[in-house]
Structure 1
Amino acid sequence: MLRGLGVLLILVVILASQTIFIVDETKQAIVLQFGDPIRNIRDPGLATKLPFVQNVIYFEKRVLSSDAPPQEYLTTDKKRLVVDHVTRWRIADPLLFFKTVSTEARARARLDDIVFSELRRELATVNFVDVISQERENIMESVTRSSAEKAKEFGIELLDVRIQRADLPEVVQQSVFNRMRAERQRESSLFRAEGEEQAAIIRARADRNETVILAEGYREAQRLRGEGEAMAISIYAQALEQDPEFYAFWRRLQAYKTTLKAGDTLVIPADSDFFRYLINTRPGTASDEAGTAGEGP
């Protein structure tokens, strides 16, 4: 009896596991009967199916994304452009999705083909500068609308298409960089030439100011020197007028001081006028009178 109950309990558990299934909040399911989809279940919770005859396939209910590899496009101004885009989408009709593409991998491949086609068509109608400017937003909205209409055929709701990166091909990049470098070098040479011109102007102005200042300084020095010499001559003249003999004696002493050095040996004639104050020692001569005049009270 107990053995029969145990077997019955096992059969009930197996039958229940084949009949009842759980749909998670992040999932949606379709029920297949002999491989053919017969209904879909989008609400989370418990659901039932026929045991052994029907089976369940789950699909994501959340928003999915597809990051396609970069592709090269041609704009209306014949510029080549490498675009890397990302697509956000979700499964809107599980039954249609299963019938047309079956898996997420195949759905991503079909979506990439659709978006590639629409991007190529849209970029062929705009210039290169529009893709890298604020016009990109309008381009993406147009691509999203046209791609979403085609994605409905596969039970997919296309939410958004965005360009992650838009660059020139590597070969074109190098030529663009070379051209940019040449332009920057040309601008730097222009700025350097203008700087050198300004430096030459400033240097010439400084040299002119220096010449003017030196000339004015020299003129002022000459004027002061002339005034000093005139004043000295005037003083000498006044001294000469007061006592010509003493003045001559004093000037001769200054000449002795400048000419004669200690230890010098001089050979001079007796009638030399230069040393007459040193040689003439007779009383009453000019040397005696000068000596007397040099004595103070």
Structure 2
Amino acid sequence: MRFSVRNIVVVLLLFIGFLTFTGAFFIVNETKQAIVLQFGDPRKVITEPGLQFKIPFIQDAVFLDSRLLNIDPQPEEMILSDQKRIIVDSFARYRIVNPLKFFQTVRNEATFSDRFGRIINASVRGVIAQYSLTALLSEQRVSIMNEIQAQILGNEDSYGVEIIDIRIGRTDLTEQVSNNVYQRMRSEREKEANLLRAEGEELSKEIVASADRQQTVIVAEA
């Protein structure tokens, strides 16, 4: 069976029509929001789920998450005011509230996580450098966290996000500091043990001396 030129043209037109139709529509699901780009420039922001239209071959759609997202920067070694070194593991949760500003600033979630993660670590480092390890492990930790949050929240509008929560998940002593703390605790316990031992020996001597005196009195009276 041979195809005529007319049949070939019809098939090509149908194929082009199919591509045009499928390229003209896209779906935004409930967990996403979209930005329609025309030659790379934003033309429309879509925050509601559903079937949407764009001009085929001219416009494109990029999707951003509308759910609560996490930022988990790499743990960093930081120096406290008492010159002790600790490893801080912090994290934050955020939501994209201005998709256009977010896209224009960082383009995607991965770039934002990397950039804002550095901001989080820098803010944490700047604040806790003013405090000692004792303060960080005390009830003062709450006010320290509030100070860190205040610094970080000042950056959220620049990226079109809302920071929901910021926390220090874990603070670990470095190996050197851990060893120093262990040695100091061991030394203190040894001092306490020696003191108790000395007090015990003194009490033992007093008991023996008292028993000797009583024995002498009993023998004399006999």
TM-score (norm 2): 0.82
**Residue 3 of structure 2: aligned partner:** none
Match runs of 1:238-257 below 5 Å: none
Question: Which letter does structure 1 place at the counterpart of 2:80?
Answer: T
1:61 alignment partner, one of 46, 62, 66: 66
Which whole-Å CA distance do the structure 2 matches of 1:153 and 1:18 have between them?
A: 33
**Residue 110 of structure 2: aligned partner:** 105
1:84 alignment partner, one of 85, 89, 105: 89
1:181 to partner: Cα distance = 0.8
Which whole-Å CA distance do the structure 1 matches of 2:106 and 2:188 have between them?
A: 52
Contact 1:132 1:166 in 2 (8 A): no
**Residue 184 of structure 2: aligned partner:** 179
* 3-state SS in 1 of match to 2:169: strand
Match runs of 1:158-197 below 5 Å: 158-197=163-202
Structure 1 residues 213, 96: CA separation in 2 closer, same or farther (over 3 Å shift)? same
Structure 2: 5+ residue stretches without partners:
1-6
Q: Is 1:149 the equivalent of 2:154?
A: yes
Contact 2:73 2:121 in 1 (8 A): no
Structure 1: 5+ residue stretches without partners:
220-297
Structure 1 residues 6, 78: CA separation in 2 closer, same or farther (over 3 Å shift)? same
**Residue 125 of structure 1: aligned partner:** 130
Which whole-Å CA distance do the structure 2 matches of 1:8 and 1:201 have between them?
A: 113
Worse-superposed segment, 6-15 or 97-106 = 6-15
Question: Which letter does structure 1 place at the counterpart of 2:110?
Answer: A
Which whole-Å CA distance do the structure 2 matches of 1:79 and 1:88 have between them?
A: 29
Contact 2:84 2:177 in 1 (8 A): no
**Residue 75 of structure 1: aligned partner:** 80
Which whole-Å CA distance do the structure 1 matches of 2:209 and 2:14 have between them?
A: 112
Structure 1 residues 89-134: Cα deviation after superposition (integer angstroms, max 9, x where no partner)? 2222222111111122211111122112212221233333221112
- Which has the higher Rg, Structure 1 or Structure 2? 1
* 3-state SS in 1 of match to 2:154: helix
**Residue 239 of structure 1: aligned partner:** none
**Residue 139 of structure 1: aligned partner:** 144
Q: Is 1:44 the equivalent of 2:44?
A: no
Question: Which letter does structure 2 place at the counterpart of 1:190?
Answer: L
**Residue 273 of structure 1: aligned partner:** none
1:185 to partner: Cα distance = 0.8
Identity over the aligned pairs, expressed in percent?
A: 39
Q: Is 1:95 the equivalent of 2:104?
A: no
Which whole-Å CA distance do the structure 1 matches of 2:146 and 2:29 have between them?
A: 33
Which whole-Å CA distance do the structure 1 matches of 2:129 and 2:68 have between them?
A: 30
**Greater share of residues in helix:** 1
State the superposition RMSD in angstroms: 2.9
